[in-house]
A and B are shown apart, each in its own frame.
Chain A
Amino acid sequence: MAKKKAEDFEHKIDMNLTPMIDVVFLLLIFFMIVSELSALDAEQMTLPWAHMAKPPDPAALAAQKHGLVVINVLKPTDPNEAGIIRIRGKKLDKEKLREHLRAAANSVPWENTKKRISTLRVLIRADMECRYEAVQIVFDACQVNGIYKTEIAGSGKYVSPPRPAESS
């Protein structure tokens, strides 16, 4: 009897594919999400402190997805520069930014066609250490293209000032 049982078990050896497929699917979904995350609009930076900044509510976010441009202004690597303006990971200069926003404003309906007032919304995410000049460039590009619905990202939590300025 014992001999027969052992034989039966030997016959049963075959690879169990289920966990492998599970793991492969897991990895597939993981990488899909991660790659999407890295392409997301929100880049890593230190946002300035603003108590009054309201966290976006999920319902509004879902409705907002369309017609929203997120502009990231990163801290410059060279202190003589004002900041690095990026949209979806692509670095843009003043002229390119204007062109980009013109195209974006044309892709959504106008609020007032005659006055060229756009319904497009712009979220400006600027690093607390970048110079105001860089944000002025963004404001300018928005205004030239009739975009007035701008929002500025801020951190609701305390962030210490960029440089401990001594009272003089």
Chain B
Amino acid sequence: MGKRKSVSERKKRKNGQEVPALPLTPMIDCTFLLLIFFMLACRFRSEEGKLQAHLPKDRGIPGIDTPTIDLQRIRVKLLWYSPGGRPRYTGPDGDLLLKVRGRVFDWAPDEEGNSQPDWAALKDYIEKRKAVYRPPADDPTKTQPVIIDARKYVPFYWIVRTLDTATAAGITDIAFAAPEIPF
């Protein structure tokens, strides 16, 4: 019995030695596994950008250490009018009006032909104001401040467009105005 078995075993081994094929399947499996792992691991960061928008740091007790109001600041107003042209409108179907110191920035077509407030004109305006800005004596490092003052019904898109335009004009000191009615 034992003799016979050894003979058949030898034969088998011989047969096996005749075809020394490399088993590729596990390698391909592993490769795919790694490929999918790295694809998933690398891709889940979406390509979105960020705008720096630091909120004012000085909170303190009201009345103490009040920062002086910079008269040279630019207050960009994003107002919300009713379809009939009534200001201080509270409804989702209103219209945006971009205003700085009484100057209205009218609608203009953007690069895709959609109508948007004239951001190029606003950028130009901010750049011109920034060029003549004089920092106060007590803080020579201060740069042109811009305040974004938007009504609460304005869609967020327009706030980011304003922030983007101010950033494009080289403004680093950007603040958001407090809501009309505090929370």
Where the two chains meet, the residues of A that have a C-beta atom closer than 8 Å to any C-beta of B are 8, 18-19, 22-23, 25-26, 29-30, 33-34, 37, 40, 42, 47-56, 58, 61, 73, 79-80, 82-83, 94, 115-117, 123-137, 139-140, 142-143, 146-156, 158-168
In Å, the complex CA distance between A117 and B106 comes to: 40
Question: What 10 new A-B contacts, CB under 8 Å, besides A80-B92, A154-B50, A168-B83?
Answer: A22-B26, A22-B33, A131-B152, A132-B78, A134-B156, A149-B54, A152-B163, A159-B157, A164-B115, A166-B115
Q: Are B45 and A61 in contact, with the CB atoms below 8 A?
A: yes
Contact between B114 and A161, CB atoms less than 8 A apart: yes
Q: B183 near A132 (CB under 8 angstroms)?
A: no
- Residues on the A chain within 8 Å of B112, using CB: 158, 160
Total A-B pairs, Cβ < 8 A: 191
Residue in A34, A47, A135, A166 whose CB lies within 8 Å of B159: A135
Shortest 4 CB-CB distances between A and B: which pairs? A53-B49, A133-B152, A48-B160, A128-B157
Q: Which secondary structure characterizes the binding site on chain B?
A: mixed
24 A-B contacts (beta carbon < 8 Å): A18-B25, A25-B33, A33-B37, A37-B40, A37-B44, A48-B161, A50-B163, A123-B50, A126-B156, A130-B156, A131-B154, A132-B78, A132-B151, A133-B152, A137-B183, A140-B179, A143-B55, A152-B160, A154-B51, A154-B160, A156-B48, A161-B116, A165-B95, A168-B85
* Contact for B55 among A50, A116, A139, A166, CB less than 8 A: A139
CB-based contact B44/A40 at 8 Å: yes
B49–A54 contact, CB under 8 A? yes
**Which residues 22-38 of B have a CB within 8 angstroms of A?**
25-26, 29-30, 32-33, 36-37
| Distance A82 CA – B153 CA, assembled complex (angstroms) | 8
